[in-house]
């Protein structure tokens, strides 16, 4: 029996791996689409799909049309879905994330197979990891966490290689993983900074004694390069400036900063460090008691135990940092990555015998229960909607005003000036971005630099629309309107309209003005030479 199991093909493309991938992918897809079927919509997923539509609508495929303000790679992966039927396109972010989640599970299966875990045990383990509520939240809720989990799995394996081998490749692996992480997940900063104090735990003491600075430089350089490259590129292509991606409200690199008023976690702990650190550690222990079991099982392998101990600490420090900067809406948004660390730890500790494997299964089951409990504690609006949809509750329309605008724009197609930062939900509801003049285009910038609009239609949002409360750093909470960039320039446009334009749409907080035929003549009058030439 053992012989036959040894003879099984080991590899990501072996038949067994492919079957496990297919099963995992199917399971995760069902878990992702069931809430969507019940009306759940992820705002992060909508934002990404709007980017894909904008890029595809551009006459030339330009990298700057990605808007650059969030990790690119997740958007690049969505591009092919832009050409697919509407029904698939609308759920593309969920499909992509589930795909990478399944790849990770299949890869883990390969690693377990190499450790001679029997097929049944592997399947049980894969299932137990996949059904953990934090894992499901990260991978299937539209956060695009599948890819991030894969990266974290790589970081964790890399850190263990540093412990075991401490060769140049180990450090390159770890550093490169951080460098690439920046393009995959906006949480990379926090994961990296939280890792730095833990580096002495895993690096060889002799190396630390010789030159700790060089150790940090080697591990940090690729991430610094990624950020530098990003900033230089943004300087080149963005009129808003190089660090716009760091200070633009509502952009992914600012996380939940603009949602402060409605997020319990940030209201209670935002701007502080030690409180969220302790709370996060408690959440980690409740949600992943399996980590405790792993530490106990690896107690005879001091270095490995050290790395496993560092896992909850690492992510809790990351949670605390992200809470201090008002980035994180809920600890689960970061702690779901623990699944990657747990998977790596199981691969790295000696293979468990049958008795201890049962304990492992039990620890995983307990973790799932603990995770579920934590998910219901101080949930965000998205989390509430997601869990409600999971329970089969039919949810109401998500931002109906935006959806109505999108449908109207679809029915009244014409070159339209629109700020996609404000209207991304409407653009997704429209189905594509063809003929829309978006803020990344030269036409849009030119329009905002002149006093007179020439575009066929213009969409403007009510400047008094209280999108969401925002807060500054510190304890003072204040409310601020978030006008779109068209209103910034034409402050009275929403209320008074513009000469030569008539109101054609007025619903919820949106108005659309369309150019009149007289205005076309007027605009020609402004350029007599041009009109004569015509």
Partner 1 sequence: MSATTAGNSVPKLMVGELLISRGLLTQAQLDEALVLQKKWGTRIGDIVLAKGWIKPLDFYSALAFYYQKPFVDMLKEPPDVILHEKDDLAAYNMHQFMPWRITDDDNPKVIIATSNPNEQAMDLARQRFGDNVDFVITSKFDILWQLQHHHDEYFTHNAIRKLAEQMPEHSASVVITKPQLIFVATVITLVLIVATVWPMATFVGMNLAIAGLLLMTTLARLTLTWVGSDRHIDIKVTDHEVKLLKDEDLPVYTVLMPMYKEEAILPFLAKAMRELDYPLSKLDIKLVLEQDDEGTVNAAKALGLEAFFEIIRVPTSFPKTKPKACNYALNFARGKFITIYDGEDRPEPDQLKKVIIAFSGMAENVACVQARLNYFNSTENWLTRMFTLEYSLWFDFFLPGLEALKIPIPLGGTSNHFKAELLLQFDGWDPYNVAEDADLGVRFTQCGYRVGIVNSTTYEEACNHVPTWIRQRSRWIKGYMQAYLVHMRAPIELYRSIGSVGFWGFQFFFLGAFFSYLVAPFLYGTFVIWILGGAELLDPLFPPLVLLISLFNLTLGNGSLVYMLMVGAFKRQNYMLIPYALTVPYYWLLMSIAAYKALSQLIFNPFYWEKTTHGISTHLETPAAGDQPAAAH
Contact residues for partner 1, defined by CB under 8 A: 60, 62-64, 165, 167-169, 171-172, 175, 210-211, 213-214, 217-218, 221-222, 225-226, 228-229, 232-233, 235-237
Q: Nearer Cβ to partner 1, position 242 or 246?
A: 242
Nearest-approach distance from CB 347 to partner 1, in angstroms: 20
Angle at 266 between CA 394 and CA 340, to 5 degrees: 75
CA distance 76 to 59: 17
Nearest-approach distance from CB 215 to partner 1, in angstroms: 8
Strand (E) or helix (H) holding 506: strand 501-507
Nearest-approach distance from CB 342 to partner 1, in angstroms: 28
Q: Nearer Cβ to partner 1, position 110 or 234?
A: 234
- Report helix, strand or coil for 81: helix
CA distance 106 to 12: 7
Q: Nearer Cβ to partner 1, position 221 or 372?
A: 221
Nearest-approach distance from CB 379 to partner 1, in angstroms: 39
Closest Cα partner for 238 from 470, 461, 62?
A: 62
Q: Nearer Cβ to partner 1, position 72 or 467?
A: 72
Pairing of strands 436-437, 416-417: parallel
Contact status, residue 244 vs residue 234, Cβ threshold 8 Å: yes
Nearest-approach distance from CB 359 to partner 1, in angstroms: 36
Give the list of residues 6+ apart from residue 87 with CB closer than 8 angstroms, or none: none
Nearest-approach distance from CB 180 to partner 1, in angstroms: 11
Q: Nearer Cβ to partner 1, position 210 or 479?
A: 210
Q: Nearer Cβ to partner 1, position 94 or 181?
A: 181
Nearest-approach distance from CB 222 to partner 1, in angstroms: 6
Q: Nearer Cβ to partner 1, position 21 or 70?
A: 70
CA distance 149 to 147: 5
Phi, psi of 515 (to 5 degrees): -70, 140
Give the list of residues 6+ apart from residue 500 with CB closer than 8 angstroms, or none: 452, 453, 515, 516, 518, 519, 522, 523
Q: Nearer Cβ to partner 1, position 229 or 526?
A: 229
Residues in the chain: 534
Q: Nearer Cβ to partner 1, position 220 or 387?
A: 220
Closest Cα partner for 114 from 5, 259, 198?
A: 5
Q: Nearer Cβ to partner 1, position 60 or 87?
A: 60
Nearest-approach distance from CB 66 to partner 1, in angstroms: 11
User: In the structure encoding, which two tokens stand for residue 410, read together?
Assistant: 């679809």
**Distances from the Cα of 220 to the Cα of 69, 142, 173, 190, 307, angstroms:** 22, 29, 12, 13, 19
Nearest-approach distance from CB 530 to partner 1, in angstroms: 24
CA distance 173 to 228: 20
CB environment 386-400: b (16+ within 10 A), e (fewer): bbbbbeeeebeebbe
Nearest-approach distance from CB 134 to partner 1, in angstroms: 33
User: In the structure encoding, which two tokens stand for residue 83, read together?
Assistant: 């050409």
Contact status, residue 181 vs residue 188, Cβ threshold 8 Å: yes
């Amino acid at each position: 029996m053992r012989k036959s199991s040894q003879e099984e093909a080991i590899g990501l493309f072996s038949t067994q791996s492919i079957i496990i991938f297919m099963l995992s992918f199917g399971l995760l897809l069902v878990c992702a689409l069931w809430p969507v079927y019940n009306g759940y919509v992820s705002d992060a997923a909508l934002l990404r799909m709007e980017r894909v539509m904008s890029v595809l609508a551009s006459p030339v495929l330009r990298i700057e049309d990605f808007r650059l303000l969030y990790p690119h790679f997740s958007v690049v992966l969505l591009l092919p879905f832009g050409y697919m039927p509407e029904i698939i396109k609308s759920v593309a972010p969920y499909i992509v994330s589930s795909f990478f989640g399944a790849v990770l599970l299949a890869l883990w299966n390969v690693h377990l197979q190499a450790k001679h875990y029997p097929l049944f045990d592997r399947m049980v383990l894969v299932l137990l990891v996949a059904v953990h509520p934090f894992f499901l939240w990260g991978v299937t809720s539209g956060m695009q966490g599948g890819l991030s989990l894969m990266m974290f799995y790589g970081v964790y394996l890399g850190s263990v290689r540093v412990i075991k081998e401490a060769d140049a490749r180990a450090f390159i692996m770890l550093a490169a993983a951080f460098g690439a992480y920046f393009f995959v997940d906006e949480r990379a900063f926090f994961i990296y900074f939280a890792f730095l104090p833990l580096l002495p735990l895993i690096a060889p003491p002799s190396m630390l004694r010789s030159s700790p600075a060089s150790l940090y430089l080697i591990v940090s350089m690729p991430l610094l390069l990624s950020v530098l490259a990003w900033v230089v590129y943004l300087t080149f292509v963005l009129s808003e400036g190089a660090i716009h991606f760091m200070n633009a409200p509502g952009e992914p690199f600012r996380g939940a900063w603009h949602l402060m008023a409605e997020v319990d976690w940030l209201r209670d702990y935002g701007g502080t460090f030690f409180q969220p650190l302790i709370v996060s550690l408690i959440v980690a222990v409740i949600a992943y008691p399996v980590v405790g079991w792993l530490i106990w099982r690896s107690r005879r392998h001091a270095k490995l135990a050290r790395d496993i101990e560092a896992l909850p600490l690492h992510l809790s420090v990351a949670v605390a940092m992200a809470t201090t900067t008002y980035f994180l809406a809920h600890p689960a948004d970061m702690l779901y990555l623990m699944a990657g660390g747990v998977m790596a730890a199981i691969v790295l500790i000696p293979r468990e015998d049958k008795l201890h494997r049962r304990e492992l299964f039990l620890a995983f089951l307990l973790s799932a229960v603990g995770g579920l409990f934590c998910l219901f504690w101080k949930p965000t609006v998205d989390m509430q909607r997601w869990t409600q949809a999971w329970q089969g509750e039919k949810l109401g329309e998500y931002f109906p005003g935006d959806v109505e605008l999108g449908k109207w724009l679809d029915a009244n197609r014409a070159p339209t000036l629109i700020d996609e930062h404000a209207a991304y939900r409407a653009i997704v509801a429209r189905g594509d971005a063809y003929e829309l003049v978006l803020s990344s285009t030269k036409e849009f910038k030119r329009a905002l630099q002149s006093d007179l609009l020439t575009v066929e239609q213009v969409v403007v949002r009510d400047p008094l629309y209280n999108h969401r409360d925002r807060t500054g750093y510190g304890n003072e909470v204040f409310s601020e309107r978030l006008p779109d960039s068209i209103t910034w320039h034409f402050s009275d446009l929403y209320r008074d309209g513009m000469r030569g334009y008539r109101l054609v749409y007025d619903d919820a907080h949106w108005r659309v003005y369309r150019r009149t035929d007289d205005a076309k003549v007027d605009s020609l009058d402004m350029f007599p030479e041009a009109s004569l030439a015509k």
